[in-house]
Amino acid sequence: MTSQEITVALEVNGQTTTVTAMADTPLLLILRNDLQLNGPKYGCGLGECGACTVIIDGVAARSCVFPLAGAVDRQIITLEGLGTRAEPHPVQQAFIDEQAAQCGYCLNGMIMTAKALLDRIPNPSETQIRNELSANLCRCGTHIEILRAVLRAARQTP
Ligand code: FES
Ligand code: FES
């Protein structure tokens, strides 16, 4: 079936924006190209690396394989919806404190996936964190620091 152009209202980071694009356009492209939200990264484009993760209705989702049509009437949060450079979200601050970055390309996915986990389970076990992040790839091998950062963020969750 061929896709059709649609005009929809998207709620992203608490703001509603009208977008016109083909119904099957990946949400990632809309976020980056139309809304200039470049927190979510293009990695594999196949739903396999996690670099493009956003939170949709409280659940971590891979925006590179999430069609625009499916994002209507959902609450979308991107990295930009967490904290700012001046006031980082506690999960972002924990990543800074643990120096959990080398190139940083995977961090959007790690942080958004961790945020969704901590919203669901404020005090996850190390095993739960490992399981949650197991499908988020880091080519730099920063896994130990990332794990420490999520554990630190969990300790700081009120
Ligand atoms: S870019 Fe979306 S999962 Fe890799
Ligand atoms: S820090 Fe480079 S991919 Fe994870």
Q: What is the pLDDT of residues 63-118, one digit of tens each?
A: 999 999 999 999 999 999 999 999 999 999 999 999 999 999 999 999 999 999 99
Burial class (CB in 10 A: 0-12, 13-18, 19+), 21: buried
Whether 36 shows a pLDDT value over 90: the answer reads: yes
Q: What angle do CA 21, 25, 30 make, to 5 degrees?
A: 70
Q: What is the pLDDT of residue 156?
A: 85
* pLDDT value, residue 22: 98
Atom of ligand 2 nearest to the CA of 107: 4
| Distance from residue 64's CA to the centre of ligand 1 (Å) | 5
CA distance 27 to 40: 10
From-to residues of CATH 1.10.150.120 in the chain = 90-156
* Cβ of 135 less than 6 Å from ligand 1: no
The class (CATH top level) of 5-81 is: alpha beta
Q: In whole angstroms, what separates CA 112 from the centre of its chain?
A: 4
| CA-closest candidate to residue 57, choices 119, 126, 146, 141 | 119
83, burial (CB in 10 Å: exposed 0-12, middle 13-18, buried 19+): middle
Which residue ranges have their beta carbon within 6 Å of ligand 2? 101-106, 138-140, 142
What contacts 43, CB < 8 A, 6 or more positions away?
A: 49, 50, 51, 52, 64, 105, 106, 109, 137
Distance 42 CA to ligand 2 centre (A): 13
Q: Which CATH architecture has domain 90-156?
A: Orthogonal Bundle (1.10)
For the chain, residues classed under CATH 3.10.20.30 are 5-81
Judged against a pLDDT cut of 80, whether residue 157 lies above it is answered with: no
Evaluate: CB of 26 within 6 angstroms of ligand 1: no
Residue 47 and residue 67: Cα distance in Å, rounded? 12
Q: pLDDT at residue 158 above 70? A: no
For residue 2, is pLDDT > 90?
no
β-bridge pairing 5-12 and 15-22 = antiparallel
Distance (Å, rounded) from C-alpha 38 to C-alpha 22?
Answer: 20
Does residue 31 have its Cβ closer than 6 Å to ligand 1?
no
> What pLDDT score does 20 carry?
98
Query: What global pTM score does this model have?
Result: 0.96
Amino acid 1: pLDDT? 61
> What share of the chain has pLDDT > 90, as a percent?
96
Residues paired with residue 75 on neighbouring β-strands, in sequence order: 11
Best of 44, 54, 55, 108 for a ligand 1 pocket test (most atoms within 8 Å of beta carbon): 44
Supply the residue whose CA is at minimum distance from atom 3 of ligand 2: 138
End-to-end, the C-alpha distance of the chain in Å comes to 49
